[in-house]
Amino acid sequence: MARAARVSDSAAEIIVIGAGIAGLAAAWRLGGAGIDVRVLEAAPRAGGLIETERRGPFLVEWGPHSFLHNAAHVVALARDLGLADRIVLARPRARRRYIYSRGKLRRVPAGPLSLLFGTLLSPRARLRALREPWVARGASAGAAAESAYDFFARRFGGEFAERIAAPFASGVYAGDLTALEAGTAFSRAVAWEREHGSVLRGALREWRARSGTGAAARPRGSYSFQDGMGELGAALAAALGDRLECGAAVHAIERAGSGWWIRAHGLSGDATWHARGVAIALPAHRAAEILAPAVPAAAAALAEIPYAPIAVAQFGVRNEMLTRPLDGFGFLTIAREGPPILGCLWPSAIFEGRAPEGVSLLTVFLGGVRDAEIRAATEGAVIERARRGLAPMLLREDAPVEFAAARVLPRAIPQLVVGHTARHDRLSGIASGLGTIAFAGNFLGGVSVEDAVRSGLQAAEALLVGVREPGR
Ligand SMILES: Cc1cc2nc3c(=O)[nH]c(=O)nc-3n(C[C@H](O)[C@H](O)[C@H](O)COP(=O)(O)OP(=O)(O)OC[C@H]3O[C@@H](n4cnc5c(N)ncnc54)[C@H](O)[C@@H]3O)c2cc1C
């Protein structure tokens, strides 16, 4: 059937491309400011990486599981959407986090005292880490190009960097500590050093300041929604209504006088929209492709951002099959020690209602930059490898499971590697020069859901100025 071309035109219209949480947040803000906004999303559903699946009696997260107590933008957005009562706090025990090392799950120290008595680090390394408040800043302190490994090794010692910070970088970025840029990937720790001369001192001051705010402060810990993180995307999609168009894959953006043409393959044929402003809330590599002809300098900066693959495997397991109780959030692994997984979350131990009574849900993460071949793995191969990874500490390889499923995300997490700040500045300079294009997404200033929401809101603010300012 021949595809019909559609053209609509509106001088005040802003198009948001991509309905991940960043694009949805941008559109929500723009709509709230009275802008005629439309969101174009390639997939059949909104939410992007956020995807909660009800699988029989299990509530399975294929993307993010939680956000932290300090995720102010997520909480404010949830409140605006009427979801405040749906927010759930993780069980207190979920504060325990483990790292698998030297044949055992070992508690990650939650503070200086547990650092002193924990077994993750050698006695010498523990003392070195505790000397952190007295370590001078040094010449490389605050340098934009310092790697996260160099930062943590400088502040806390090499063993701390390898055995605590590196698994953490695997858990959050599926990344390599030696490649990540300290100032972007661990911006709070770097700010604490800058402002207080010490990471531990800065963390302590922040903790005291939060405690001082009394009842208004949200208890520390991880949060989600009663029916999982998908509630947030679903509520935004419902609020946007027919301003959100799923199944519309944008393939080109071209200049149109003071605005833009946006060309997409839609469910009902090819379509072209005219917009005064565009919020680009796509993964960086996808944004690079569609921007290359019209704004090559932006496309070049976007194309430089590397991505790590992740595979996710899910298992429902009867509790008696587990070789230890799930008394925490989950565990991470140390690359050098070899288990073929990045780590495992214990969703049914973290939140209520994720698995039926007597059964546990395990979510295993594999791949990352340390094992990039995972990109090509089949579902069966991921499940098999995840089972091998769980065998030493949690679940015998031949133990029966209630269900098993897996997915591979070939480009899951952007890597905020050394040089990112410079790249980000280049991109921001181009966007503010144009005025009518803004970028949003997890490839800008951080990869958490909170970072993505914040970036979406910031893109909306920039566009509100850009499209309303006469003479642009
Ligand atoms: C496995 C995993 C676990 C995670 N866990 C956590 C966690 O526990 N806590 C946390 O805070 N963060 C977590 N994150 C990170 C967080 O989920 C993401 O950074 C965030 O959801 C990204 O949102 P986004 O809108 O920037 O991008 P995306 O969600 O990637 O959205 C981009 C959207 O653009 C669409 N798109 C692509 N091409 C086109 C096109 N041509 N035209 C139109 N649309 C297009 C895509 O379909 C998608 O919907 C996790 C990430 C992963 C992968």
**Residue 25 C-alpha to ligand 1 middle, in angstroms?**
13
**Residue 48 C-alpha to ligand 1 middle, in angstroms?**
5
CB of 18 sitting under 6 A from ligand 1: yes
Both tokens assigned to 274: 């005219």
CB of 48 sitting under 6 A from ligand 1: yes
Look at residue 118 in the predicted model and tell me its pLDDT.
83
Closest Cα to residue 39, out of 216, 279, 210? 279
pLDDT tens for each residue of 266-278 = 877 888 999 999 9
The CA distance from 120 to 110, in Å, is 12
Look at residue 143 in the predicted model and tell me its pLDDT.
65
Nearest CA to ligand 1 atom 15: 448
CB of 281 sitting under 6 A from ligand 1: yes
Q: Which atom of ligand 1 is nearest to the CA of 62?
A: 1
The CA distance from 370 to 15, in Å, is 37
The structure's pTM equals: 0.95
CA angle, 97 then 99 then 101, to 5°:
155
DSSP 306-368: -EEEEEEEEEEEEGGGBSS---SSEEEE-GGG--SSSEEE-HHHHSTTSS-TTEEEEEEEEES
Side-chain-side CA neighbours of 122 within 13 Å: the count stands at 8
Domains of the chain as residue ranges with CATH:
7-50+229-305+417-468 (3.50.50.60), 52-92+307-414 (3.90.660.20), 121-216 (1.10.3110.10)
Question: Residues of the chain with pLDDT > 70: what percent?
Answer: 94
CB of 444 sitting under 6 A from ligand 1: no
pLDDT tens per residue, the chain (472 residues)? 344 444 444 334 899 999 999 999 999 999 999 999 999 999 999 999 999 999 999 999 999 999 999 899 999 999 999 999 999 999 999 999 999 999 999 999 877 777 777 889 999 999 999 999 999 886 666 666 899 999 999 999 999 999 999 999 999 999 999 999 999 999 999 999 999 999 999 988 887 877 665 545 678 899 999 999 999 999 999 999 999 999 999 999 999 888 999 999 987 788 899 999 999 999 999 999 999 999 999 999 999 999 999 999 999 999 999 999 999 999 999 988 988 999 999 999 999 999 999 999 999 999 999 999 999 999 999 999 999 999 999 999 999 999 999 999 999 999 999 999 999 999 999 999 999 999 999 999 999 999 999 999 999 999 999 887 745 5
**Residue 196 C-alpha to ligand 1 middle, in angstroms?**
34
Burial class (CB in 10 A: 0-12, 13-18, 19+), 124: exposed
Q: Which atom of ligand 1 is nearest to the CA of 68?
A: 11
Look at residue 226 in the predicted model and tell me its pLDDT.
97
Helix (H, G, I), strand (E, B) or coil at 270: strand
The CA distance from 472 to 276, in Å, is 10
Question: What is the 8-class DSSP label of residue 4?
Answer: P
Q: Hunting for tokens 């030696």 — which residue is that?
A: 178
CB of 43 sitting under 6 A from ligand 1: yes
Probe residue for ligand 1, chosen from 49, 73, 291 as the CB with the greatest number of ligand atoms within 8 Å? 49
Look at residue 9 in the predicted model and tell me its pLDDT.
46
CB contact burial 322-348 (16+ within 10 A = b; e otherwise): beeebebbbbbbbbeeebbbbbbbbbb
**Residue 21 C-alpha to ligand 1 middle, in angstroms?**
7
pLDDT tens for each residue of 412-458 = 999 999 999 999 999 999 999 999 999 999 999 999 999 999 999 99
Nearest CA to ligand 1 atom 53: 412
